[in-house]
Amino acid sequence: MKWGIPMWKWFKRFIVLVIVLFFAMVALLIPDKIDSQDQLKNVPTQTSLVDLVQAGIGGTSLSSGSLSTEINLDSNQFRQVLKESIAESNDETLQNSTVELNDSYLTAKVPVSLGPIESTFSLDFTVSTNKEVILLDLAGAHLGRLPVPKSLVLPYLKKSIAQSSSGVRVVNNQIQLKLPEIGYEIEQATINNSKMKVKLNIPISLPTSW
């Protein structure tokens, strides 16, 4: 059976369309690569949360038997604090990932392989606190530049976190990150202009008699 000229033209157009769609999909799936120096496995631990708190002691105020102070973290400092919190984890995916403070969100970037295509899973979280625990609520997700529904992402997160030994857990669709215990309580944490402001209460013991 021979194809007529119109049929052959439609076939060629179909092939061209498939090729265009393939390259368009590749372009959408491949975002900027994670900088190797920002991967958690390569982040130095020169600054701990204790160091940041001690540096902020100069701006403390005393009330109700505790010291209140604020510390400000940029993306690099937060990565160092996070690495300290997950120091015992050997999860390769986690160690190859990174986090950054992006406008008013905390963004986690996880490398993923889609056959021959290397892409990045980006997760945007809003931040709240409960004592020494950072609470993360998923605000949005992208695979490369393609938006992904939260309903598809949350089961993946729960499974991945359950299989890791990172000290991170999921409770009622909320990710809970327990920070190192240094005798403080996080009163508030907010992200604005790609900076995280953390307000801490540090209990103090005063003598009952002099």
Q: Are residues 89 and 109 in the same domain?
A: yes
Strand pairing class (185-192; 195-203): antiparallel
pLDDT at 106: 92
| β-bridge mates for residue 147, sequence order | 142
53 lies in the same domain as 23: no
Task: State the total domains in the chain.
Answer: 2
Considering the domain architecture, whether residues 24 and 38 belong to the same structural domain is answered as no
51 located within any domain: yes
Same domain, 13 and 42: no
Asked if residue 121 and residue 22 are part of one domain, the reply reads no
State how far the Cα of 127 lies from the Cα of 103, in Å rounded to an integer: 12
End-to-end C-alpha distance for the chain, whole angstroms: 107
Contact by Cβ (8 Å): 125, 139: yes
Question: What integer pLDDT is reported at residue 70 of this predicted model?
Answer: 82
Q: List the one residue out of 28, 2, 22 whose CA is nearest residue 11.
A: 2
Look-up of token digits 């939260």: 150
Q: State whether 64 and 154 are in the same domain.
A: yes
In a domain, 42, yes or no: yes
| Shared-domain flag, residues 151 and 181 | yes
Task: Identify whether 10 is part of a domain.
Answer: yes
89-106 tens-digit pLDDT: 777 878 888 999 988 999
Question: Could you tell me if residue 208 is inside a domain?
Answer: no
Residue 209 included in any domain: no
Q: Are residues 88 and 176 in the same domain?
A: yes
Q: Give pTM, 2 decimals.
A: 0.73
Domain annotation covers residue 185: yes
Q: In this prediction, what percent of the chain has a pLDDT beyond 90?
A: 7
My answer on whether 50 and 152 are in the same domain is yes
Torsion sign across C-alpha atoms 50, 53, 58, 61: negative
Could you tell me the residue range of the domain that residue 3 belongs to?
Answer: 1-30
Residues 1 and 82 in one domain: no
pLDDT tens for residues 171-192? 888 888 776 666 677 788 889 9
Instruction: Report yes or no on 41 lying in a domain.
Output: yes
